[in-house]
Amino acid sequence: MGMIVKTPWLSSMGDVPRKLEYFDGTMFEMVEKMADKYPNLTAFDFMGRATSYKKMVEEVERCAKALKTIGIRENDRVTIALPNCPQAIYMFYAVNLVGAVANMIHPLSAEKEIEFYLNESESVTAITLDKFYGKFEAIRHNTKLTNIIIASVKDELSKPIKAGYMLTEGRKIKRIPQDAPIIRWKDFMHLSKCCFYNYRVKKKSNDTAVILYSGGTTGITKGILLSNRNFNALASQVISANPFKVGDSMLAAMPLFHGFGLGVCIHAMLSHGGRCVLVPRFTPKSYAKLITKYKCNFIAGVPTLYEAILRVPHFDRANLSSLKGVFSGGDSLSTDLAGRFNDFLKNHKSNVKIREGYGTTETVNACCLMPQHIFKAGSIGIPLPDMYIKIVKPDTDIELPYGEEGEILIAGPTVMQGYLNNAEETAKAMRIHADGLTWVYTGDLGVMDNEGFIYFHGRAKRMIISSGYNVYPLQIENILNAHKFVDSSCVIGVPDEYKMHRVKAFVRLKADVPKTEQTKEEIMAYCRKNIAKYAMPCEIEFLEELPKTLVGKVDYKKLEQMETV
């Protein structure tokens, strides 16, 4: 290492180790080691049913043999579009065990987005829930998919709960024709009987294991290549920064296709003997019940989730003294919400405070967290062990003095391997400096104080965060502008007290198109096919002219100001 990296935060780390030893192997091997040590501990709970580590590993192995039987080979890409359910966990680790790569996508993505993810990753197999089958079927012929595996929530329910589910949720799901070209989960798992050996493929810790998606620093969706080591390192870092002990439980409501849900809520727990309480679909009511029923020790979520909890009447007498850690990430936590939530914790017998963290999918997830013993209002904390952060003059390697705003850069063992099929963007986002480290340019603005605490000041790139999901205005505008009625458009985030921001579109119609409700509805229907549910505009407003900046670009800042007045 040429120059020495500044690490002013070391003195604030308390009893968190400065350096960690990392497991040298795959994600599955790290989990399997736990199962050998604690076979009878509960690995996860799902809708009232507990699964032990031993049983989980047996199911992962069955799933791996089945993948081999349907022809999945080393380095093949398998798309997983599932909520937090047992099949998602079995499939995720089985893909790892057979040496393939898990391509994680949001099941609520629109058809066209799913097609993009399947083709971008060249996936040969996909697994999703019965209720999302239609979207996959609609675009399947445009992809390289050989197989679609269909899971159902009811497959993993205990008998009494299954009956209730079929009467309520299960009724809404459109029946898949008997002769549909799919493999149903149960039939798929039976195929494991046809594979006798060689289903374990030896992989190294630096081999690519997962693809997650993010808008990257320019707002165009990109696949992010992450290795076994990236995930295993994150897991050890998160555990080391918390008072965790074997058997502790985490309420896993953050989705699996998000670095936060997969890295922090699932893998960190399962690779250290923790217990995941899986929440397939977040409702504040179910959440309130689960925290108290399972006496959860850790909860992780986005600000929207904490805002929702505060509004749930069912929490009135809840005792939350079991909590050891409450983490917020994915969006800025306002001081107001933090204050209200900390009061709520105190009133419910908990002596912890909500701790904000920060990360990017380019580093799996969290790389920075508020320490347990020091609290600085408005800060996103200090780097986790072995992580480095520095603030530079945007897009350069010139480091700025403490207290000056610049671009946040991150280095350390969780830094991605690069973007999928995109050498140019990879070169922009990852650069080696004179200190010998590879730094990720986040495109986020922030400040570091002289004790190494980071303050997040917003994004240099245009992005709306709605309920913790990243929404890229540019992408939605491109989709809108392709519609035959639309001349030009501008998409902004409008403050919303629950979602933090909701998406609103301003549209200038072509000359002869009438400004009617019918026109609006037709554009909306088109959006639903092309835009994920969470990124859908809540409203469209027609304007005669869109405001322009001096260089002639649409002035989205002006529209934002108009909306907040």
What's the angle, vertex CA 174, arms to CA 129 and CA 130, rounded to 5? Answer: 10
Helix H or strand E encompassing 562: helix 556-564
Q: What is the DSSP pairing of strand 325-328 with strand 298-301?
A: parallel
Query: Same CATH fold, 465-564 and 363-459?
Result: no
Domain ranges of the chain: 363-459, 465-564
User: Mean pLDDT for each consecutive 10-residue tract of the chain (565 residues)?
Assistant: 83 95 98 98 95 98 98 97 96 98 93 94 97 95 96 83 70 83 96 92 98 71 96 98 97 89 96 95 81 93 85 81 92 84 94 94 94 90 97 94 95 98 95 96 93 85 79 84 89 86 92 92 93 91 84 77 78
Choosing among 3.30.2130.30, 3.90.1280.10, 3.50.50.60, 3.30.300.30, the CATH entry for 465-564 is: 3.30.300.30
Please check whether residue 496 is in contact with residue 505, taking contact to mean a CB–CB distance below 8 angstroms: no
Helix H or strand E encompassing 250: strand 249-252
| Distance in angstroms (rounded) separating the CA atoms of residues 457 and 453 | 13
| Distance in angstroms (rounded) separating the CA atoms of residues 276 and 288 | 16
Q: Give the rounded distance of the alpha carbon of 312 from its chain centre.
A: 24
Which segments of 70-158 does DSSP mark as H helices, in order?
A: 86-97, 111-121, 133-139
User: Which region, left, alpha or beta, applies to residue 461 given φ > 0 means left and ψ of -120 to 50 means alpha?
Assistant: beta
Please check whether residue 194 is in contact with residue 69, taking contact to mean a CB–CB distance below 8 angstroms: yes
Please check whether residue 123 is in contact with residue 139, taking contact to mean a CB–CB distance below 8 angstroms: no
Cα–Cα distances in angstroms (integers) from residue 377 to residues 12, 48, 338, 366, in the given order: 15, 38, 9, 19
Whose CA is closest to 369, among 270, 454, 276? 454
Question: pLDDT value at position 182?
Answer: 95
Q: Please give the model's pTM, rounded to 2 decimal places.
A: 0.87
Question: pLDDT value at position 336?
Answer: 82
Provide CATH code, domain 363-459: 2.30.38.10
User: Which region, left, alpha or beta, applies to residue 101 given φ > 0 means left and ψ of -120 to 50 means alpha?
Assistant: beta
Q: In what order do the strands lie in the sheet with 298-301?
A: 49-52, 42-46, 275-278, 249-252, 298-301, 325-328, 354-359, 366-369, 382-383
Question: pLDDT value at position 464?
Answer: 85
Which segments of 150-283 does DSSP mark as H helices, in order?
A: 159-167, 169-172, 185-190, 228-240, 259, 268-270
Question: pLDDT value at position 549?
Answer: 65
